[in-house]
Structure 1
Amino acid sequence: MDEKIVEEIIGEVFKKAKKEHASHSKFALSNHISNQTDLSSRTLERAYDRYINKKTKYGVPQAESIDLFCKYLGYEDFRDYAESKPRDAVIEQPPINGIDKQKLIINISIAFGLILLFFAFQKWSDFKYNNNSAVDKCMTWADSIYIPISCNKGPLSKYGTQVKPLDQMELNNMRKVEVNAAYDFFSEDGKPLVWYFKNKSNEHEFFTAPGLHPINGETLRKITPYIIQNYVPMHLDKKESFTPE
């Protein structure tokens, strides 16, 4: 089985999942696909790490799993997927006088185009920095995620939350989620994937990254088996909080 085709399949699988699901984290997408197929979320996460994150320590998915990936994309199995996308061999023209002139012209054109693109990007970046230095450099908490926002909005956003300098890691990774007994609380090596905070109403709020609570600034605590056993609902339907419009 050609692994390049497998990589292509995995890329299409997660591209489709991103169109169907609000959250684009590896764990959210894997859970979403798992809910619609017979694939386990673990298998999906390992496939994501190997082909999206390029972590080669994870093995190639089994043939049965690849067939299920193809079914998710609307094909019967791997063979159906491969046959539906014929890969024609490229017939190369013989070089003229030892030099492939067509390729030489194409390569020169590409190089020249890249140089022009580089200078155009530099000028655009300088213009944007000089004219929009205060725009979209901040973020604010919006119900269950951070969203980019202009720094000139004032100390508070329309959500009533603090406007603060943009932190790309927090923006990409911090989510407030609804959890249950079926949620993946730990990675394969035992590291926590969820952090929590107990509010004044004695309710537990759960987040996908460590750090400070987005509203009150209190330090979040990593999940433990005790918290899961005593404060996590036991129903098995997987849900995540919605991204606000």
Structure 2
Amino acid sequence: MHKKLILEAFSRGREKLIKNGSNHPSINSISEHIATFLTEDIKHSTNSRTLRNYYKKALEDEHINISRNETVNGLCEYLGFKNYNDFIKSNENINDITVEIENQKKGSKKIYLLGFFIIITVLITVLFFISNDKPKFMIWKTDHYEEVELDLKKYKLGDLKVYKQERIDNFKKIQADCNYQFFYPDGSERVWYGKNKKKEYEFFTDLGRHPETGKTLKKITKYIIKNHICD
């Protein structure tokens, strides 16, 4: 039953990240999302790498055993159950596990094909801009994106991003303090956070990836505000 638990948790995590604007969330971003919930929301400290390893093993093996009971119960709470016993009662019929694994494998193949298509599209776009001498790129400058020309002598290829007006207008790094308005009146988040290469917390005005690390940013929480901004 631990196998079904971890598969359902990652499936739910993928759905939540897609709903929050991440079109094709990776296994790493899903495991980090779940680990953040377990650690910050219900105080069950769990390493994202451990969750990722459980998930990969669940796709390959017939049975897995999650060693820590707090991790098991935390995953159950993430899925909306009171505890592991509640999860077992609601999943008495587990004959569909094989079908679920096959769907996971098919989903992985689709993700790889989609990733290949995106890479080809980007290369075609770059060639188009070069041939027409009309580059449309942007680069991260301290706390915001700026439009730049395609100049590989001046900029590293890895630092150049395909130009997006929405990123130019809305994505900024901010210096957050206790007085900052972190939430809209309806309770939705106005700030996202992530760690830079020095493992320092940094805060941004929109959902996206950290400009330095490339990792998906997370929604601000009261826990982060209290312990890493106001402290």
Q: Which has the larger radius of gyration?
A: 1
Same fold, TM-score > 0.5, yes or no: no
TM-score band, normalised by the shorter chain?
A: 0.3 to 0.5
Q: Which has the higher helix share?
A: 2
Q: TM-score when scaled to structure 2?
A: 0.40
